Protein backbone atom coordinates (compact mmCIF):
# COMPACT_ATOMS: atom_id res chain seq x y z
CA UNK A 1 0.00 0.00 0.00
CA UNK A 2 1.40 3.41 -0.96
CA UNK A 3 1.47 6.06 1.75
CA UNK A 4 1.62 9.82 1.63
CA UNK A 5 3.75 11.25 4.44
CA UNK A 6 3.59 14.97 5.09
CA UNK A 7 6.73 16.82 6.22
CA UNK A 8 5.98 20.26 7.63
CA UNK A 9 9.60 21.43 7.83
CA UNK A 10 11.18 23.08 4.81
CA UNK A 11 14.62 23.35 6.35
CA UNK A 12 17.01 21.01 8.16
CA UNK A 13 17.45 20.45 11.88
CA UNK A 14 20.88 21.49 13.14
CA UNK A 15 22.70 19.19 15.57
CA UNK A 16 24.45 21.84 17.67
CA UNK A 17 26.73 19.83 19.94
CA UNK A 18 29.21 16.98 19.78
CA UNK A 19 30.39 17.45 16.20
CA UNK A 20 33.45 19.17 14.75
CA UNK A 21 31.59 20.45 11.70
CA UNK A 22 28.00 21.69 11.50
CA UNK A 23 25.68 18.69 11.19
CA UNK A 24 22.21 19.01 9.66
CA UNK A 25 19.43 16.39 9.65
CA UNK A 26 16.85 16.43 6.82
CA UNK A 27 13.54 17.96 7.87
CA UNK A 28 11.79 18.05 4.49
CA UNK A 29 12.02 14.34 3.61
CA UNK A 30 13.52 14.96 0.15
CA UNK A 31 17.23 14.40 0.82
CA UNK A 32 18.86 11.59 -1.11
CA UNK A 33 21.43 11.34 1.70
CA UNK A 34 19.02 10.70 4.62
CA UNK A 35 19.15 11.26 7.49
CA UNK A 36 21.53 14.06 6.50
CA UNK A 37 20.55 17.21 4.62
CA UNK A 38 21.80 17.54 1.04
CA UNK A 39 20.19 20.93 0.31
CA UNK A 40 17.16 19.55 -1.56
CA UNK A 41 14.85 21.48 0.80
CA UNK A 42 15.56 24.56 -1.32
CA UNK A 43 12.89 23.23 -3.73
CA UNK A 44 10.26 23.74 -1.02
CA UNK A 45 10.84 27.43 -0.27
CA UNK A 46 7.91 28.68 -2.36
CA UNK A 47 5.34 26.14 -1.14
CA UNK A 48 2.05 27.35 0.27
CA UNK A 49 1.91 26.15 3.89
CA UNK A 50 -1.77 25.17 3.53
CA UNK A 51 -1.13 22.81 0.60
CA UNK A 52 0.39 19.33 0.31
CA UNK A 53 2.85 18.49 -2.45
CA UNK A 54 4.45 15.37 -3.89
CA UNK A 55 7.90 15.35 -5.44
CA UNK A 56 9.56 13.04 -7.95
CA UNK A 57 12.44 13.30 -10.41
CA UNK A 58 10.23 15.32 -12.81
CA UNK A 59 9.35 17.98 -10.24
CA UNK A 60 6.52 18.86 -7.86
CA UNK A 61 2.74 18.44 -8.00
CA UNK A 62 0.11 19.79 -5.62
CA UNK A 63 -2.08 17.14 -4.02
CA UNK A 64 -5.79 17.85 -4.49
CA UNK A 65 -7.64 16.93 -1.32
CA UNK A 66 -10.71 14.81 -2.03
CA UNK A 67 -11.80 14.04 1.49
- The full set of domain ranges for the chain reads 13-63
Question: 3-state class of 40 per DSSP?
Answer: helix
Give the percent of the chain with pLDDT over 70.
Answer: 100
Express each pLDDT in 13-24 by its tens digit: 999 877 778 899
Give the percent of the chain with pLDDT over 90.
Answer: 54
Please, are residues 35 and 18 in contact by the beta-carbon 8 Å criterion?
no
The predicted structure's pLDDT at residue 31: 94
Express each pLDDT in 42-52 by its tens digit: 999 999 988 98
Class of domain 13-63: alpha beta
Tell whether the torsion through CA atoms of 49, 51, 52 and 58 is positive or negative.
Answer: negative
Amino acid sequence: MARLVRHDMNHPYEVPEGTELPLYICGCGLSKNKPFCDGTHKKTRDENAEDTYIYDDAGRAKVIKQY
